[in-house]
Amino acid sequence: MSAMDVDVAGIRAAFAACNLEVAEDALSTCVSLCAELGLSSDDLAAQWDAYSMNNQITGAADTDGLVGFRSHLVRQKSRTKEDASTSSGASQKRRHGKVSGTPVIKRVSESQDKLEALYNM
């Protein structure tokens, strides 16, 4: 089910599958969150599960709890975008950057004894 297909029944089922409760008045907020952030109902339920455990929120997901949850998801999404743009920029710099100035030297041992060669390194 994509984020565009999310409905109240899907949210209720996804929360139930995670053994979570969601308040009736919070269901429409959940649907809005999915549409706004491009989440499926299963993703939203899993995210709420982690968020509620980390923030020690007990009981059903309600509209008050979803306010902080929305802020958390927006921060997380913007952080993910920043990381993606930073990592792609860094990989381009590495690809076109200077060659390392550190010489690579292979140590050559004259001994035939492999154990002795290890001690002489």
Residue 75, CB-side half-sphere exposure with 13 Å CA sphere? 7
Residues of the chain falling short of pLDDT 70? 1-4, 87-114, 116-121
Residue 1: what pLDDT? 46
Residue 52: what pLDDT? 95
Residue 96: what pLDDT? 52
**C-alpha to C-alpha distance for 37 and 74, rounded to whole angstroms:** 8
Question: pLDDT of 13-48, one tens digit each?
Answer: 999 999 999 999 999 999 999 999 999 999 999 999
Among 30, 28, 29, which Cα is nearest to 18's? 30
Residue 50: what pLDDT? 95
**C-alpha to C-alpha distance for 45 and 10, rounded to whole angstroms:** 10
The H-assigned helical ranges of 22-62 are 27-37, 41-54
Residues recorded for the chain: 121
Residue 81: what pLDDT? 83
**C-alpha to C-alpha distance for 111 and 120, rounded to whole angstroms:** 9
